Structure 1
Amino acid sequence: MAKISQRFSQTVAPTGTTFVVGILDTDICGPSQPRVMGVRGEMVHNSGSGWSPVYVTDNLSLMSIGFLLGRPDDAVIWRGPKKNGMIKQFLTEVDWGELDYLLIDTPPGTSDEHISAVQYLRATGLTGALVVTTPQEVSLLDVRKELQFCEKLNVPVIGVIENMSLFVCPNCKTRSEIFPATTGGAAQMCKDLSVPMLGSLPLDPILARCCDDGRDFLAELPASPAVTALKDIVDSQ
């Protein structure tokens, strides 16, 4: 969803507490987390205890197929069984150490990656799914399917976040509706399906640039509308 850093951990955690977080990028065909986290080009190492994830900070580690490709632009053309095998390896053969949280970034839809992750984690006490959408109906159509997927597989829905709900001009701070919520947006969908609506994040081009460059927008843009909205969502939980 968004880059998580040590600073974010300290924001979420009680005073004096730092969480140890692992991020698993299960988007096999389009791994983006290495770039977003600023560790593009890093390599994973194999040892007697398994693969070692890439550490972004002392308390934040990441595993992605992006680290195993010869070049960032290499295409991964795999059928379902090979994807499933790779996700199983990520979950069972990576030396994550002692984690407080393992966050799994999945691609859109209800494909092999989602089924594999739920299947392999079912016995571990899966906390739930955090679902992200944008306001327009084209996105909500897919998200409704995702919520139905969670219901059928008994995955609790932590809540829904509406991303890019408004555009906030970085100069004049004027708010504009880039993606019109013709059917009421995420709020109406959550009301109809009786799932929690956690909040909305505005579209911020500077934040997008930070993600492209692998920079920590929470540290660089602490007063931006997007960071303020994100902190409000965290505080509300």
Structure 2
Amino acid sequence: MARGLPKQKPIKGVKHIVLVCSGKGGVGKSTTSVNIAAALKANHPKKGVGLLDTDVFGPSIPLMMNLNETPILNKDNLMEPLTNYGVKCMSMGFLIEKTSAVIWRGLMVMQALEKLLRQVHWSEIDYLVVDTPPGTGDTLLSLVQNLPISGVVLVTTPQTAALEVTRRGASMFNKLKVPIIGIVENMNYVKCSSCSENISIFGKGTSTLANELHCEILGSFPLDPRISCCTEKGMPIVVQDSTSDVSKVYKSVADHMVRFLEE
């Protein structure tokens, strides 16, 4: 008899789990995750917002959220998330030395992921944003099979190579019946410093993909050094410059997500 899929088990205290995914690395997935989380908290200050970094080998959340402490254990032997800008955060980066490489095989990675999922005291979280590693490997498959995922945000650039990988990743979510909230398009253009014209870098293939997937482009972002500078300083641009045009787009993405989740 064929073995069934694992039974999905909610994370205690968490209402909605949203995966931020990219088939390809280097498209701005972690930057998108931290700014979406910050935008959710800015738009809905009374809601609980969490940010979970499941990239065991390359955790970015400690840097981008300016958090470097080691989580404490509560009386139930659960880790308490670290908090900044009103967002509760958990990452493997909090549990290892800053300069240490994680040299683990698959089983150890799955054990670490289970620790991040089940041994954290999230308390009351309305929206848990999950920053995932690139691709459709063990980590992402385990998340989808073991958790009730409310939706997925796909992150890509308009580059053909990135779009093709994103398309393959989307097919996995469709097969597993995980709803796709929409697409975030990064590095879509640069603004000319002389004439302020928007100059496309990679083309306009993202709209074609969105039509294929029957979803929306939630937000389109320029290649803007301010975005990366803010995250490298440990303060998302939504926090650093909350009234900027870029921050307004992130807040619009967050609002679209909330409408999708609460329908």
TM tier relative to shorter chain: 0.7 to 0.9
Q: Does 1:176 align with 2:199?
A: yes
Contact in 1 for aligned 2:36/2:253 (Cα 8 Å)? no
Q: Give secondary structure in 2 for the equivalent of 1:198.
A: strand
| Equivalent of 1:202 in 210, 214, 222 | 222
Name the aligned partner's letter for residue 234 of structure 2. Answer: G
Tell me the TM-score normalized by structure 1: 0.86
Name the aligned partner's letter for residue 65 of structure 1. Answer: M
Tell me the TM-score normalized by structure 2: 0.78
After superposition, give the CA deviation of every residue in 1:173-194 in whole Å (9 maximum; x if it has no partner).
442223x12xx42111111232
**Residue aligning to 1:18:** 46
Q: Does 1:47 align with 2:70?
A: no
After superposition, give the CA deviation of every residue in 1:38-66 in whole Å (9 maximum; x if it has no partner).
11x21112233211111114x41111000
In 1: Cα distance, 2:39 partner to 2:47 partner: 10
Using a 3 Å threshold, how does the CA distance of structure 1 residues 188 and 169 change in structure 2: closer, same or farther? same
**Residue aligning to 1:65:** 92
Using a 3 Å threshold, how does the CA distance of structure 1 residues 171 and 78 change in structure 2: closer, same or farther? farther
After superposition, give the CA deviation of every residue in 1:106-155 in whole Å (9 maximum; x if it has no partner).
0111011101111220xxx4211111110001111111111011012111
Name the aligned partner's letter for residue 67 of structure 1. Answer: F
Name the aligned partner's letter for residue 55 of structure 1. Answer: T
Using a 3 Å threshold, how does the CA distance of structure 1 residues 99 and 171 change in structure 2: closer, same or farther? farther
Using a 3 Å threshold, how does the CA distance of structure 1 residues 12 and 164 change in structure 2: closer, same or farther? same
Q: Does 1:99 align with 2:119?
A: no
Using a 3 Å threshold, how does the CA distance of structure 1 residues 61 and 219 change in structure 2: closer, same or farther? closer
Contact in 2 for aligned 1:9/1:18 (Cα 8 Å)? no
In 1: Cα distance, 2:237 partner to 2:195 partner: 20
Q: Does 1:158 align with 2:181?
A: yes
In 1: Cα distance, 2:194 partner to 2:81 partner: 39
Residue 2 of structure 1: CA displacement? 4.1
Contact in 1 for aligned 2:36/2:250 (Cα 8 Å)? no
**Residue aligning to 1:229:** 249
Residue 234 of structure 1: CA displacement? 3.8
**Residue aligning to 1:143:** 166
| Equivalent of 2:144 in 118, 136, 144 | 118
In 1: Cα distance, 2:157 partner to 2:92 partner: 26
In 2: Cα distance, 1:7 partner to 1:195 partner: 23
Using a 3 Å threshold, how does the CA distance of structure 1 residues 197 and 9 change in structure 2: closer, same or farther? closer
**Residue aligning to 1:130:** 153
Contact in 2 for aligned 1:21/1:99 (Cα 8 Å)? yes
Using a 3 Å threshold, how does the CA distance of structure 1 residues 106 and 6 change in structure 2: closer, same or farther? closer
Using a 3 Å threshold, how does the CA distance of structure 1 residues 211 and 177 change in structure 2: closer, same or farther? same
**Residue aligning to 1:29:** 57
Contact in 2 for aligned 1:203/1:226 (Cα 8 Å)? no
Q: Give secondary structure in 1 for the equivalent of 2:73.
A: strand
**Residue aligning to 2:10:** none
Name the aligned partner's letter for residue 212 of structure 2. Answer: D
In 2: Cα distance, 1:152 partner to 1:163 partner: 26
**Residue aligning to 1:8:** 39
Using a 3 Å threshold, how does the CA distance of structure 1 residues 228 and 170 change in structure 2: closer, same or farther? farther
Q: 5+ unaligned residues in a row in structure 2: which ranges?
A: 1-31
Q: 5+ unaligned residues in a row in structure 1: which ranges?
A: none
